[in-house]
Each structure stands twice: as structure tokens, then as C-alpha cells.
Chain A
Amino acid sequence: MDQDELKKQEAKCTQENPPSCTAGCPIHVDARKLMLDIQNQDLKSALATLKKKQPFPGIIGRICDHPCEDECIRQEAGTTIAISALERFCVQNVSEIKTKAGIIPPKSQTVAVVGSGLRGLTAAYDLAKKGYKVSLFEKEDHLGGNLWSFPEAQLPPEVIVEELSVLNRLNVQIHLNTAITRQDLAKLQEEFNVVYLGLAAHSKRISELLGEQSSIDTVTCATPLPGVFSGAFVGNNSPIKSVADGRKAAVSIDRYLQGVSLTASREGEGSYETQLFVNTKGIIPLPAVQMSDEPGGYTSEEAVQEAGRCLNCQCLECVKACKYMQEYGSYPKKYLRQIYNNDTIVMGMRHGNKMINSCSLCGQCAEVCPRGLDLGETCKATRESMVSKGKMPPSAHDFALRDMAFNNSEEFALSRHQPGHNSSKYVFFPGCQLSGSSPEQVEKVYAYLTDKLSGGVALMLRCCGAPADWAGQRDLFQNSLKVLIAEWESLGKPQLIVACSTCHSMFHETFPGVISLWELMADLDLPVQGAVKSGSKVAVQDACTTRNEPHIHDAVRYILTKLGCEIEELPYSKERTKCCGFGGLTSFANPELAKKIIEDRISESTTDYVAYCAMCRDNFASKGKRTVHLLDLIFGTDLDKAAIRPSVGFSYRHENRAKLKRTLLHSLWKEAPQEKDVAYLKVNLQLNERVLEIMEDRRILIEDIQQVIELAERTGRKFINPNNGHSLAYFRPVKVTYWVEYQPQEQSFVVLNVYSHRMEIVEEGHE
């Protein structure tokens, strides 16, 4: 991912855009944060939130005309949040409001501000805070202009005086009773670097002062007179827009005095429409909290309650849907940056590796994102980049890739025309996971297909290459695909029938005619009638790799209906479905997260699930969720038994696949299966459930254990515990050292413990 791509992807994530209240506020007060402060009953923090944007919160908090409320998203479910009343509550109830001047490095340049209404006051405040020498000219004998026309109950005079006293602390030179005429303006221009006329645009006073030259730039507040700025907003009926007008001029004046562009990047100033997406579906409408004492404003309890209605507007659509997104406590815009940094780092630790390798690559985020941001695409491209740079952690995918190698080895791989046929119209590709989990169902499906279809149905056993694709091993994937294509061509390019959705997703570009078993079966007579008790309810787990295949979703539901099932749709289903934790090799790179993903998905409904992916079924069953495979329903197996059938471990998946090949060769093609003749396969093991669980967790296979024991017993290279007679030995076939603690018992070995490490110990032999 290069910088441009990063920016393109980042721009799709709206989470960091401000809420609509803030965007709608001419000076961008963070009302969302303010609501949280009030809910936390932290008025000090609330005041700090106001002060961050408001020059005189005690005044503005009492008189603001609150355009934010018109933009509030709460309106879609109830009434707008009473932001203005809550601001008033804050400034009326906070113990101390006094704004400190702070330490400001002084600048030598001088600014004259004419008029002390909200425009002039704001400009004087902002510029003094930047260190300019500000002189404020007011024709009356007091500062504040129109502020004095508000009712005393709303804006008490002492508040005005107190709030404006900050200008003294900022060393603003205040000249009262000083009306400025057109003649005076010329003098001010001579005396000061800049003059700001804090008056409404097109007002009579402006015309008097500027004469015919009263046209004002609405973006910069600049007048045709050099160094003279003025109000660009017409009228005085919106206090907050007057404040924003004064602020806009202050920004221009600062730029003018620094000699930089007045016009560059000013798009974000003033009210605008935010890009933040907020989903209000399902939010319960709530009316505004009423004040028990209208003139006095909200009580503390009422304020907390009203602020509590705030939706705390966020997008987070993908985060709400995905455990992986939640796992790292942030959202895609942040993740994209972390991934980019991880990929481009030259020296130092790549802390993002695990995060990049933990995504299921399932595409759900792109589906739920209002702008289609697909974090999985970035994760996958980055994995490919890591592999190409030699920076992919070997432990992440090693086991899965060795499993793939097994599935493409002589142990499992097979291509044959249907017995008695020399050509094939179809080829059935059951995939390695169904073959590993339920080899008997592969046999049943193949028998069914050869019975129903004419023209010859070949069989091809091997891996589709998904593990390599997911691991970012592009070359490995391409090479595996090349072999597969060659096999397919040698069968005469028959139409592929796949039972696994992942295979389907890997094939649909290379083999345009590929059809899912479910689409095919929807059009054929089903093998068994009445296997399902009519009206049995099942919740459908759509495989994540069918996300963009609505015809498969439809076919599965059609078959279920035909079988007599009542279908329950999970909250996230079809194109919005959730991965079971296997996709993208999540369960290999981050088994803890995969567990959370499974737990989350199975908690969505108490109804029995039906899956049409062997991995979905096994993963859910492994956590105790009653889940049947669609084939269990189709072939009418004992459904109660099928629903609780435990997941098949890695070792037995290997064994099931190898056995399936041998069985089929023997029964269908009458070929004598070749038995592998290796010494270690003759080592008999006794494995209890505890050890089997450890093996599964630590990804250690029966074969690995057999090799350790065979070598140790043959060479005597092992450790012995004389107290209990246990042996402890190791073997390093390639990249992993396996350790086995065991005890010989008659003709077999009781396995007591297994563990492994990847680091190599270099032994110096002394034999």
C-alpha cells in the first residue's frame, strides 16, 4: 500500500468526521463531548470543552442561537437534544468560569479593533491570545454592544463584565467613548499594522467608514483597503454567527501579519455538512427532558438525563459487526495507518503483524460500511507484501500451509473419471475440509451425483489453494492452481461442482462454469424424502465466502424449504454474514480471537444452526452450539447426533482424507491402495482426551508424535525419569521441534504430554 492508496482508503472511513452538531456549529463546539461531560457530572471538563472553541462561554452559553440543534441526529428518533439549555446549565452551575490569560509569547505587530460587539470582542480575544498588541475602540462607555440588550435574567450584567475582564488580563488596550470616523480610520491605518472593523457587513456604519469601497471578501473578511478587515456576515441576529465572523477575520489577520495566503484551506470554517455516517435504525425514540423550573433551567438530574439522550454519534458500522475490528479497540481509519506503518517500517518492531494476520478477509466490513471500505483487502495485500519482503512471521501460517501441502500430496490428491467412463462432463470437487470432517458424506454425494447426472462425473480430491491465498503466498497459490488446472484439463475440462464455498470463491474467476453443489441440488430431486421433521426450525449460517453469491443463498434456502425446514435468518445473514473464525486463517494466526468470533456468532440465536461449510459446522460444534451440516439434512442422518458431533481434530482430518482416498480407490476404481511404508507409522499411540486437546491447541499431529518416539526408541536419544519411568524425547522434522513425554506400555506408548518450539537448539555431539 502506497501513500496514495492509504489516503484513498482512509477517506472512506467517516468515523473521524465530526458529529453533525459540531459541524453545524459555526465555531465547531464539540457538543458530543459536552454531553458526555454532563453525563459524567464533570462540569469542569464541560467548561473546558466549551472554552476550547468559545471565547466567552459564560456569555455565549446563555445567548447562543444554537444552529447545532437543527442538525442533531436525535431528531430521527425523538426530538433534538436541548444542547443550548445544557450549555446554559453548565455555565450557570460551574464553580469558576474565569478564563486565564496564560503565557503568550508577545508579537510586535499591532491591531486596532473597532467596535466591541461579539465580532470585535472575539477578534480582539483571538488575536490577543496569539500575542498581537490589540487596541479595542468602543464608542459607548462600556464594552459589549448589543450584549446589553438581552434580558438581565438571561444574561446578567455582572456576567458580561466578568467574562469580558479576560481582555484586560490579555493586555488588550481598551479605549471607551471613542467613536471612529472615516477620518480616524486613515489615522488608525497609519498607526496600526491592521484595522478590524467589527461590524456587520453592509451595515450603515460600514458604509460610513469605507464609503464606496465597502465590498468585502466573504471568505477572508478583507476589504479593498490594504490592511483593513471587516465583518463579512450580514446582520446581528445570530450571536454565534457574529462570533464566527470575528474569528474568521482574526484568522485572516493572523495570516496577513505572517505574510501567508489568506485563502488557502479555509473550507472547514463555519457550518458545514459532516460526512459522518450515523445509523439510527433500531434506536428507541425519546422526547426531550422537560424542565421542572423553566426560567431557572435544568436541574442537575434533568441535565444528566437530557445529555443521556445524546446518541454519541459515531459510525462504527463495521466495528459493531465484527469481533476482529473490536479486538484492537479502534476503527479502520486508525488500523489502515497502523498497517501502513507496519509495512513501511525499515528498522524496529513490526507490532502490527498479528493484527494484519488476524483478519478473516471475509468482506463483511465492506458490506456494512456506507462507503464500502474493505479492510480485509488491505490486510491481504499487506500479507503479500510481508511475504515478498521475507517479513511474514513463520509461526502465523506455517501449520495451515503444511496442511495444504498434505492435501495436495499423494496422501489425498486424486483425479479420476467416473468408473466405466473415459470422459467427464462434470467433476466433483468436495474440498479438503468436508473430506476431513465427514468423508462418508463425500462418498454419499459422489454416489448421488453419478446417479443423477449423465455424461460422467469425475472426482478430484485436493486443496483449492485458499490457505496460500489467505497467507499472502501468491506464488504458492499460483503454483497450486497451475497443477489443479492441468489435472482439470487432463479430465477434458469438465464443469466443476464444488461442495465448499471457499473453493467456489477461489475458482469462480479461473473456472467460469463452476457451480456450487447447492445450486445443482436445488434443481435435482433430493436423495431422501421426509428426513426432516416438518417444521423443524433452523438458523442459517451463510458461509462468508458466499457473501457475493446470492444464488447460493437462495439455493440453500430452497433446499431447506423443500426438506420441510422452517428457516430463521440470523441478524447478520446472506451478504452481511459473519465468518466462523476460520476464514483468512484467523484461527491459526490468532486462536484466542477465533474463539471469541465463534462465541459471538453462536450467541446470536438459540435455534439450532445449519451450515453448508464444514468449517463453520465444526467450529460452532466445538463450542457446544448444536449445528448440523446441510448434507446431514439432505441425507437424513440422525440429526440429533449430527448436531452435537464434535469437531474433528487436525490429526483425524488428515487420517480421514487419506482414508477417503484409499476407500474410494478400492471400492470404485478397484485399485489396490498404496500403503505408506514408513517405520514411524507403525508406532502405536495411546492418547487420552486431555492429550488430544493439548495436541489440538498446540497444533501437533499424531504423525509428529510417532516420529519423535520412533527416533528416540531407535537411537536411545531421550531423557529418562528414573522415578516414574517416563521418557522425554524430541524430533525436528523441518522447522518445528516436537517434544513428547511418554511411557511404553506393552506394544504401544502412552503419550503424557506434547509441546513444541520453533527455535533451533544446535547440539554439539560428544558421541
Chain B
Amino acid sequence: MNNTSKQTQKTLWKCGKCGGELQRGSVKASYLGNDFVVEELKCLSCGLVLITEELALGKMFEVEQSLEDK
């Protein structure tokens, strides 16, 4: 149930500021002095970057944890 809603949300979110569609684009991320560039959904004109729940609690959390133990 959650999965379907997540998947639809992923495609359905629009930029609240300009109403534009979100597109994949490179984004700078940083944690504990480590910088990387990742591909995420964002509003190309306003710069807003979408971090979904799945990403925040999944992959991103894993990376945070391993950087904390480095």
C-alpha cells in the first residue's frame, strides 16, 4: 500500500513555488566534511531538491551511518 503511494508521489510532486515539473539533476550533498554529487529530483528553475522518505530513511541513512563510523 505504502509502496504505491510512494511511487505515485514520486512522480506527482511539483514545485510549489513555480508549479514546474521536477526533473533529475545533479545535486551537491555533504556530511561530516565529505562532499558528493548525486542525481536527484529537483525543480530546475527554483532549485528545490526533493528527498523522499524512502531515500532519507534508506540509502541516505546508510551512507550517513557509514560516514559516522569512518
Contacts and interface: CB of A to CB of B under 8 A. Distances in A.
Interface of A: 349-351, 353, 393-396, 712, 716-723, 726-730, 737, 739, 753, 755-767
A719 B52 CA distance: 11
A394 B32 contact: yes
Interface string B6-32: 001100111111010010000111111
Nearest to B36: A759
Given A719-B15, A766-B47, A759 B53 contact: no
Residue with the highest number of chain B CB atoms closer than 10 Å, among A349, A722, A753, A755: A755
Contact of B30 (A395, A721, A762): A762
Contact of B12 (A722, A727, A729): A722
Nearest to A765: B47
A739 B53 contact: yes
A761 B51 contact: yes
B28 A761 contact: yes
A767 B44 CA distance: 10
B39 interface: no
Contact of A761 (B27, B57, B63): B27
A757 B52 CA distance: 10
Interface of B: 8-9, 12-17, 19, 22, 27-32, 40, 44-51, 53, 56-57, 60-61, 63-66, 68-70
A760 B30 CA distance: 5
A93 to B, nearest CB: 51
Contact of A766 (B12, B22, B45, B50): B45
A721 B17 CA distance: 12
Main secondary structure of the interface of B (DSSP, over half): mixed
Nearest to A758: B64
Contacts of B27: 761-763
B14 A721 contact: yes
A759 B44 contact: no
A582 to B, nearest CB: 22
Contacts of A353: 68-69
Listed from nearest, the 6 A-B pairs whose CB atoms lie closest are A393-B68, A762-B28, A718-B16, A757-B56, A719-B13, A720-B16
Contacts of B19: 720
B30 A717 contact: no
Given A761-B49, A761-B51, A763-B47, A755 B56 contact: yes
B16 A753 contact: no
Given A349-B69, A350-B69, A719 B48 contact: yes
A350 B66 CA distance: 9
B52 to A, nearest CB: 9
Given A716-B17, A753-B53, A757-B51, A393 B69 contact: yes
Contacts of B63: 759
Contacts of B64: 395, 757-759
A65 B8 CA distance: 78
A739 B52 CA distance: 9
Contacts of A729: 16
Contact of A720 (B13, B30, B32): B13
B31 A760 contact: yes
Contact of A717 (B16, B31, B65): B16
Given A395-B65, A727-B16, A759-B29, A766 B44 contact: yes
Contact of B16 (A350, A394, A719, A759): A719
Residue with the highest number of chain A CB atoms closer than 10 Å, among B14, B56, B64: B56
Given A717-B17, A721-B9, A730 B47 contact: no
Given A755-B57, A759-B64, A762-B30, A728 B13 contact: yes
Contacts of A767: 46-47
Contact of A394 (B17, B66, B68): B68
Nearest to B42: A763
Contact of B47 (A718, A722, A755, A764): A764
A529 to B, nearest CB: 53
15 contacts: A349-B69, A350-B69, A393-B65, A395-B65, A712-B16, A717-B46, A722-B14, A723-B12, A755-B56, A757-B60, A759-B31, A761-B27, A765-B46, A765-B47, A766-B45
B10 to A, nearest CB: 10
B36 to A, nearest CB: 9
A719 B56 contact: no
B69 A763 contact: no
B66 to A, nearest CB: 7
B51 A739 contact: yes
B48 A721 contact: no
B48 to A, nearest CB: 6
Nearest to A762: B28
Residue with the highest number of chain B CB atoms closer than 10 Å, among A712, A717, A719, A766: A719
Contact of A716 (B9, B16, B44): B16
B64 to A, nearest CB: 5
Given A739-B51, A759-B29, 10 more contacts: A353-B69, A393-B68, A719-B13, A757-B64, A758-B64, A759-B30, A761-B28, A761-B49, A766-B47, A767-B47
A346 B51 CA distance: 34
A760 B29 contact: yes
Contacts of B28: 761-762, 764
A102 to B, nearest CB: 43
Contacts of B47: 763-767
Contacts of B69: 349-351, 353, 393
Contacts of A721: 9, 12-14
B60 to A, nearest CB: 5
B18 to A, nearest CB: 9
Contacts of A726: 9
Nearest to B27: A761
A719 B21 CA distance: 10
Contacts of B60: 757, 759
A753 B13 CA distance: 15
Nearest to A766: B47
Nearest to A713: B16
A449 to B, nearest CB: 45
Contact of B29 (A720, A756, A762): A762
Contacts of A396: 68
A729 B13 CA distance: 11
Nearest to B15: A719
Nearest to A392: B68
A98 to B, nearest CB: 51
Contacts of B46: 717, 765-767
A501 B46 CA distance: 53
B53 to A, nearest CB: 5
Contacts of B48: 717-719, 763
Contact of A757 (B13, B14, B50, B61): B61
Contacts of A739: 51, 53, 56
A122 B24 CA distance: 76
Contacts of B65: 393, 395
Nearest to B41: A719
Given A760-B30, A761-B49, A349 B66 contact: yes
Contacts of A762: 27-30
